[in-house]
Structures are given as structure tokens and as C-alpha cells.
Amino acid sequence: MSTPRKTHGSAQPLSSSAVQHDLPLRRSSKGRTVNNLDPGCLDILDIVDLCGPVQPTVNFGGAPGRLPYHDWTTAFPPGSRGFLYYHSSPGQSTLAGEIRVRVLDAGLASDSAADLFASGRDLPDYTGYKPWRIHLLQLYASQRYDSICRLLQSQGLIDAARVREAKKQVSVAGLAKGGRRSSILNTISGTFVVRLPIQTFRLAFVHNEGYVPAIPMAYRLLWGQTLEPDTVASWRVYKGAVYDASPCCQQAPDLFLILVFSGYAVLRFELKKVLRNENRRGVREGEIVLVIRILELLDPVGSDGVPFRLPEGGDLVQTQMPEKGDTVRTPARRFWYMTLGHARKLGIITPSSLEILEDRYHRESAPIEARPPPHT
């Protein structure tokens, strides 16, 4: 069962000291200076303390830039002291890099920047699940990060020609307008975090073939709630008298009470074979479709202190979109899916991303062909 994590909303302090190791303390706007973002060439003088003001100002190579933690009103948590650095993963697209913060280990006394970096840990984001980051696409989309881009270019961490081309793509795609509220997936198999309950959400994708701008994913989604507890597993069901009269609860005619989960959850794309009893519109039995699995609830304890529980192995995201055969008033609840042909049309699936999903879920069979979507 998941353990409670209440890191969002009010950032939790990290185990750090304001005077550790007699290392330079750089909290003023003039003192927060970073001349290097290459993790292999760090210097003690590159240590910065991001605590204190909201959106602290950092000088990157002599040019100032302001850094948000979660939004433009949330300060970095206490103990956010360490190295800003560029992170990229082998085998991923050149558009998949990001700026992170490596927080210093308060228990290590060393004058070696390399040792301090190696013993530290990445600053978590507001959910506590993933590292805090500024994605490379976000750097390209906003002029406020131009100083970071120039420093990355000067160190050879990103290519100037590719930066110009990427900025054109991002500008056309409109990431600067809508991307900040969207999650960016560096790989189709990666996890992402969303705040529930939500009817739809937006994702942007980075493939080896290029960047796909943020698009809305799925509609009329359901999160652990149902009025049919005998036929559809729910995350939390009470049988008997009304237990809670909050807006996030529903009561079925047979006095089943279902509370809707409210909090952050970890999701992931997967491939699934449609079974005979899963009658879906426009999908053949045995066809492979794209689904989304809920892996973890980051805030499992409800307002009444009783936890929500996912089924073992997680749960597929559910939807109540009407299909042929449903009544108008009560469309059936089903797992959300997208045909591979439609996913390819939207750019969610590309040859490289399909291969990644095949390797993880269906490599024992022949390569999967993304059937073209029907003509509309």
C-alpha cells in the first residue's frame, strides 16, 4: 500500500544546513552565480542556495535569470542548496535534456565539487516523486531562460544550430502558451504525474523523430468511482449508511458509497491486447491498443484518514465515453484506449516509440503494425 506523501502545496524541508562545510553561501541575487552546468566540470563556486525568495534570481554566465519551483508563487523548499546542472539520458532524443538541482549531502565534508555532486541527490519536485527540472523545450520556449541556453551552448552541451531549429518548432507548436501546464514525456514508456480527479490532461512527447506538442489526452475520465461496485473494481467502497457528505463522494441506490480519489497519481502508457469479452467500437478482438495504467497514488489517505487502495499491479484509467449499444443516460464504464493507428496520426506513436513499447509489453510476438485510422 502506498504511504502518504503531502509534499505539494507546502514544500517540505530537505536535510541540509545553511552553514555546512564552510562552503560558500550564495543567497543574494549577486551571489547566486553559475558559470558551469556540465556535471563533469563543476566548481565549488558554482554552489547556489535557492531558498528564500520566490523565483530566486541566478546569474548564468553573467546574465540573470529567475527560476520557479512549482509555479510563480511557490518558493524552493528549505535545504535547496547545491549545483544546478544539465542532465541527459543516453539513447534519448537531443531534445530530452533538462536542468536539475543536485542538493548537497549535509553529512559530507569535502572540498571536492565532484565528491559533493556524487554524494548529493536531485531536488524533488512538488509531488516528491520526480526530480525538479526545467525541460530543454521549456528553455527554448521562453526568453526568460535565454541566459541558460547561452551557457549550455558555450559549454558545448547543446548545439547552436539545433537550438535555432528547436526554437522554431516550439514556437510554432505553442509550447510557450500551453506547455507549462502540460507534462513532457522524454520517452513513451516513462511515468508522469497528474492531479486527480481530472476529466482530461495534456501531454507533450519527445521522440527520436522529433517533438510532438501538448495535446489533450482522453476525455470523461473516472478515477476510482463507480455506481456498479459488483462489476467494476473501485479503489474504495463503503457499504451501509452514508459515511461522508463531502462533494467528492457518491451514494448508489443500494447504499454503496464511493469516494472519488483526490490527489496526485503516477501514470504510464502501456500496450494491451483486446480480449473477446471487451467489445470496443472499431477494435477487433486480439488487436493491440494503447492504454494508460495508474501505478501509484501519491496521496493515498483520504480526508477522513482512510486510505485509497489500487488493485495489485495498478489499475487501467477508466472512461465513460458512450459507445454503440450504450443508453444515452448511462454509458458504460470501460478502460480508456486509443488505437495505434489513431495514436500514430496524433504523433503519440512513432516507429521508435512503438518499438520501445513492443520491447516492454509484446516482444514475444511479431512486430505490431499500427493499423491506419478509419476515414472520417
Q: What is the mean pLDDT of residues 151-156?
A: 94
CB contact at 8 A, 300 and 307: yes
How much is the pLDDT for 109? 80
338 closest CA partner among 215, 185, 182 = 215
From residue 309, alpha-carbon distances to 4, 191, 238, 334 in Å are 12, 19, 13, 19
Q: Which residue has the cell 513532457?
A: 184
Q: What is the mean pLDDT of residues 290-307?
A: 84
- Pairing type for strands 288-297 and 263-273 reads antiparallel
**Residue 70 scores a pLDDT above 50:** yes
**Quick check: helix, strand or coil at residue 18?**
coil
Task: Read off the pLDDT band of 309 (50, 70, 90).
Answer: confident
| Element of type H or E holding 266 | strand 263-273
Task: Read off the pLDDT band of 320 (50, 70, 90).
Answer: confident
CB contact at 8 A, 204 and 214: yes
How much is the pLDDT for 120? 95
The set of residues, in sequence order, having a beta carbon less than 8 Å from that of 153 and lying 6+ positions away, is: 159, 160, 163
> Average pLDDT, whole number, for the chain?
77
How much is the pLDDT for 259? 60
**Quick one: residue 351, left, alpha or beta (phi over 0 = left, psi -120 to 50 = alpha)?**
alpha
Q: Report the alpha-carbon distance of residue 20 to residue 108 in Å, rounded.
A: 9
The set of residues, in sequence order, having a beta carbon less than 8 Å from that of 269 and lying 6+ positions away, is: 188, 189, 290, 291, 292, 293, 357
How much is the pLDDT for 111? 86
Alpha helix (H) residue ranges in the chain: 113-119, 136-141, 146-154, 160-173, 175-178, 340-346, 351-357
Task: Read off the pLDDT band of 308 (50, 70, 90).
Answer: confident
**Residue 28 scores a pLDDT above 70:** no
Task: Read off the pLDDT band of 173 (50, 70, 90).
Answer: low
How much is the pLDDT for 183? 86
**Residue 53 scores a pLDDT above 60:** yes
Task: Read off the pLDDT band of 21 (50, 70, 90).
Answer: very low
From residue 127, alpha-carbon distances to 77, 78, 215 in Å are 12, 16, 22
How much is the pLDDT for 218? 78
Q: Report the alpha-carbon distance of residue 35 to residue 45 in Å, rounded.
A: 9
Task: Read off the pLDDT band of 71 (50, 70, 90).
Answer: confident
How much is the pLDDT for 88? 92
Domain boundaries, the chain: 20-180, 221-362
Task: Read off the pLDDT band of 6 (50, 70, 90).
Answer: very low
**Residue 37 scores a pLDDT above 90:** yes
Residue that wins the pLDDT comparison between 12 and 333? 333
pLDDT tens digits, one per residue of 103-151: 998 877 888 999 999 999 999 999 999 999 999 988 888 888 999 999 9
Q: In this prediction, what percent of the chain has a pLDDT beyond 90?
A: 39
CB contact at 8 A, 292 and 269: yes
The set of residues, in sequence order, having a beta carbon less than 8 Å from that of 359 and lying 6+ positions away, is: none
Q: Report the alpha-carbon distance of residue 134 to residue 67 in Å, rounded.
A: 9
Q: Report the alpha-carbon distance of residue 75 to residue 39 in Å, rounded.
A: 25
pLDDT tens digits, one per residue of 218-255: 777 877 654 444 433 456 544 433 334 343 444 444 44
What percent helix, strand, coil does the chain show, rounded to 5?
20, 25, 55
How much is the pLDDT for 251? 46
